[in-house]
Amino acid sequence: MDDFFKNNKRNFKRADLEIMDQKFPQTLSNGKKYYTSWIDYERDTGKKAEVPEIYINKIKEFMGESNYDKSPNFPILVMFYEDNNQIVPIELSMSYTYYKTKYGLFGDEGMGIRFKDEEQIFIPGGNKFILINNKFIKANKDK
């Protein structure tokens, strides 16, 4: 594949990429097509891409129900495939948002004065956890 791009130094058009998609489709070793975008999945299948409840329950079990409920964010499908009309996640992303309250003298002439200020703290995903034997295990950076 790399040789193809090295030997064909030109600008590729969408038609060229469609040929590449046909020759090298996004398939796993089990023969299933995988998706890296929920939009592609919904366009191809006509079904809504949602994380199955079984995986949400495993995330809740790992994080704790109260921590999961505190976060306004939900798991995002990054990479997944469909097996027996059920979505099977390959990779999920989960970020966390919380609010920090500061007390003091805040404001300006236009807004007026207030004695507390709320700041939204966003903690992005990035930690990798692998589901092995129905348990999440934190992946080492070496793997």
What would the pLDDT profile of 13-34 be if each residue is shown by its tens digit? 767 767 776 777 778 888 888 8
What are the distances in angstroms from CA 84 to CA 25, 35, 52, 88?
20, 15, 13, 10
pLDDT in tens, 30-83: 888 888 888 989 998 999 999 999 988 888 888 888 878 876 667 888 889 999
- Which secondary structure element, helix H or strand E, spans residue 5, and what is its range? helix 2-7
Q: Quick count: other Cβ atoms within 10 Å of Cβ 52?
A: 13
Q: How far apart are CA 82 and CA 27, in angstroms?
A: 11
Q: What percent of the chain has pLDDT over 70?
A: 78
Q: Is the pLDDT of residue 134 over 80?
A: no
Q: Rounded mean pLDDT of the chain?
A: 79
pLDDT of 6: 59
- Strands of the chain, DSSP E: 34-35, 76-83, 86-93, 96-108, 112-123, 129-132, 135-138
Domain residue spans in the chain? 2-138
Mean pLDDT of 97-108: 86
The closest alpha carbon to 93, from 132, 38, 133, 47, belongs to: 38
Q: What are phi and psi of 47, to 5 degrees?
A: -110, 155
Predicted pLDDT of residue 27: 81
Regarding pTM above 0.75, the answer is no
Cα–Cα distance measured from residue 33 to residue 54, given in angstroms and rounded to the nearest whole number: 21
Identify the residue with better confidence: 29 or 86: 86
Residue 3: its pLDDT value, please? 57
Please give the pLDDT value at position 108: 82
Q: What sign does the dihedral 45-49-52-53 (CA atoms) show?
A: negative
- Integer Cα distance of 73 and 85 in angstroms: 25
- pLDDT value, residue 103: 92
The pLDDT value given to residue 5: 58
What's the average model confidence in pLDDT over 105-112? 83
